[in-house]
Structure 1
């Protein structure tokens, strides 16, 4: 056990990190492997792969994701901004590249292959985007000569445009919602409220009118008889079949005919095999992470850290909420993974990157360190 008097980097990290938050993320990682073991063999068998193909893949990427999370958690707020800027540039280049070189899957170009590994760039760019928006909003609040709000609007356009062109409206909705929440925290005026609400309404109506894919999903959600609702119907059947306590590990049957049981609908498999009680326990872990993050943000004096922690917490929570809501037919199908639970390599590593940023920003920092950080930031701004 490390002593509080130990002045090593690891010792200081251990006594300043939010160990409850770290433990909750660890629980989700373990739960992801267990639920992959429950949900993925049936899919692997249908695809002619090894029975534990997706389980082994989940473990492999978890062994990459854990060091990523822990390494990023050592960063200072200043280093967080720099890493986020680099990640945003790399992620944006890859995001645009998917439009030209990405494989088309179900009518969308969201994936790109790099050195034989399939990557979804939108997953990487999301946490970096939140950090940069928090930076711009905080600078705009501190200094009237910095057009932080305007730059944040331009940054949103830079991310949303390639997402719409893919098209990926689920991720577009997610990043836009988090961006709007950060703008609200930054104290947007009524003109901005009216303008952004109007722009959002126009965007929604345009997508519904001119993009058949969007209209089809919304119509199918509002009127199930208007289209194919096979996956959602099977998901509801899974929850009903499992009841409160589930059929038991490996005893599920509906998962065998649920095409995306290991990704988008892993929550339904949880309901069938482990019961609604297990689903509520999983929901509680997600809620704990989000509420703890928001509580830490509320107590922060540094505007950048406050906005960044709130944004990362909301990003994580909204993604989980959308996935679970789709599983119980409260939202139209979005193709959104359940953080740390759904099978997916780039998603797991990118989520670990984002949560590493969150843990880095929520570490307890002495007052002297906060002052030094602010002075360094002021010196950096003056050099510009």
Structure 2
């Protein structure tokens, strides 16, 4: 154990934040899975042990990923990106449908589901970081600098959006933010945002147009707008816009009740009442359960840990002497923290329901393991930056001694 501890490097603050979030996950999942366990004739302990197993595997992934030199991820970036495209296409047409969304594929033999968008997101940010680091001399040019960056983003987002629009929007927003930091021409970024806003504005306009204010309910959509998940997107926008008037905005109402019951210090661990009524209290709406059991103080502490994680990742970005590692650490930290902020915003009704989990806290699955992989890569960049910093300090000491 001591040898393992001695080999553990990277930003210690990030390690502490990750461990604390994982511990919170175990506590809240054990509390929030009682109704699910009863419905499926299982014990709540079985879900606790399952989450513990995912946590143990996740930390193994973090450890081994952070021991690998991050430059190897640059070599794997193109391969993973190419692999992710056919996987996304397969998922789009033949994916397993869970909770009205076709985002998963079933792995043979082990019979587990795997969310291909998680791999695609990781591969895309590796590839973007590589391209940004290699094209800084031509970064302002549209053909040489911008197109090689935006085309992969457009492909991945277009393949993810039909089944998981919220994830596609998060990936697109994080990619543009990374391009902005990577000195991409602001005109090109602004034009991309403008083009991306056109379908979103159209979707919002349709949501308002097909809402009956007199009866407080959604109107029937024409056949052309009843394809795929478009009705679900429209319904979520309507539920958010008219949450105080629509009786069917059940998730939002139950989340508000959970937050109101929590007060400043909460009802105490395991004392949630809304876990029996709130859909998916162990994944999409786990933050509402945290506030109900640990109060506003607990909710703020969770938010603080994610912001601390982001702050330390920005520090790694500044310390890393090589562009690829700096961009990679920043991209992966941005996507995790933005996802966390969106999840929390949904829980407190500041954002329409999206279906994205709270990283490291929501019940484990492929998303949890890929989150751990991302954290391991960030810590790999931190470990190598510390090593180079220590080597430089040792050389300076040696020079001063010789003088």
Give TM class, smaller chain: 0.7 to 0.9
Tell whether 2:107 aligns with 1:114.
yes
Structure-1 residue corresponding to 2:156? 159
Of the three residues 185, 189, 201, the one matched with 1:189 is: 185
Aligned counterparts of 1:368 and 1:237: Cα–Cα separation in 2: 52
TM-score normalized by the length of structure 2: 0.83
Structure-1 residue corresponding to 2:242? 223
How far off its partner does 1:244 sit?
1.2
Aligned counterparts of 1:285 and 1:191: Cα–Cα separation in 2: 35
Of the three residues 195, 198, 212, the one matched with 2:194 is: 198
User: Are the aligned partners of 1:239 and 1:272 in contact in 2 as well (CA < 8 Å)?
Assistant: yes
Residues 128 and 99 of structure 1: CA distance in aligned 2, closer, same or farther (over 3 Å): same
- The secondary structure found in structure 2 opposite 1:112 is strand
User: Are the aligned partners of 2:145 and 2:184 in contact in 1 as well (CA < 8 Å)?
Assistant: no
Tell whether 2:244 aligns with 1:260.
no
Per-residue CA deviation, residues 58-114 of structure 1 (Å, 9 max, x unaligned), is: 112112111111101012131122344444344433322212221223442101110
User: Are the aligned partners of 2:320 and 2:381 in contact in 1 as well (CA < 8 Å)?
Assistant: no
User: Are the aligned partners of 1:323 and 1:337 in contact in 2 as well (CA < 8 Å)?
Assistant: yes
How far off its partner does 1:327 sit?
0.3
Of the three residues 334, 341, 344, the one matched with 2:361 is: 341
Residues 88 and 26 of structure 1: CA distance in aligned 2, closer, same or farther (over 3 Å): farther
How far off its partner does 1:367 sit?
6.3
Tell whether 2:257 aligns with 1:212.
no
Of the three residues 114, 126, 135, the one matched with 2:121 is: 126
- The secondary structure found in structure 1 opposite 2:44 is coil
Structure-2 residue corresponding to 1:241? 261
How far off its partner does 1:226 sit?
4.3
| Equivalent residue pairs, number | 362
How far off its partner does 1:36 sit?
0.8
Residues 348 and 193 of structure 1: CA distance in aligned 2, closer, same or farther (over 3 Å): closer
Larger Rg: 2
Instruction: Kindly report which structure 2 residues correspond to 1:170-189, keeping only aligned pairs within 5 A, or say none.
Output: 170-189=166-185
Structure-1 residue corresponding to 2:136? 141
Aligned counterparts of 1:95 and 1:229: Cα–Cα separation in 2: 31
Per-residue CA deviation, residues 14-42 of structure 1 (Å, 9 max, x unaligned), is: 3x521221121111112111111111122
Structure-2 residue corresponding to 1:101? 94
Tell whether 2:316 aligns with 1:296.
yes
Aligned counterparts of 1:194 and 1:67: Cα–Cα separation in 2: 41
User: Are the aligned partners of 1:139 and 1:148 in contact in 2 as well (CA < 8 Å)?
Assistant: no
User: Are the aligned partners of 2:28 and 2:270 in contact in 1 as well (CA < 8 Å)?
Assistant: no
Per-residue CA deviation, residues 161-202 of structure 1 (Å, 9 max, x unaligned), is: 21123x211101110011000110111224303311221211
Aligned counterparts of 1:99 and 1:10: Cα–Cα separation in 2: 43
Residues 251 and 190 of structure 1: CA distance in aligned 2, closer, same or farther (over 3 Å): closer
Aligned counterparts of 1:89 and 1:357: Cα–Cα separation in 2: 20
Aligned counterparts of 2:52 and 2:85: Cα–Cα separation in 1: 28
Per-residue CA deviation, residues 149-168 of structure 1 (Å, 9 max, x unaligned), is: 31111111221121123x21
Structure-2 residue corresponding to 1:376? none
Task: Name structure 2 gaps, 5 residues minimum.
Answer: 207-224, 393-403
RMSD (Å), alpha carbons: 2.4
Aligned counterparts of 1:369 and 1:178: Cα–Cα separation in 2: 33
How far off its partner does 1:335 sit?
0.1
Per-residue CA deviation, residues 130-162 of structure 1 (Å, 9 max, x unaligned), is: 121111112110467993431111111221121
Structure-2 residue corresponding to 1:31? 24
TM-score normalized by the length of structure 1: 0.87
Residues 104 and 227 of structure 1: CA distance in aligned 2, closer, same or farther (over 3 Å): farther
Aligned counterparts of 1:232 and 1:68: Cα–Cα separation in 2: 35
How far off its partner does 1:313 sit?
1.2
- The secondary structure found in structure 2 opposite 1:340 is coil
- The secondary structure found in structure 1 opposite 2:104 is strand
Tell whether 2:352 aligns with 1:321.
no
- The secondary structure found in structure 2 opposite 1:56 is helix
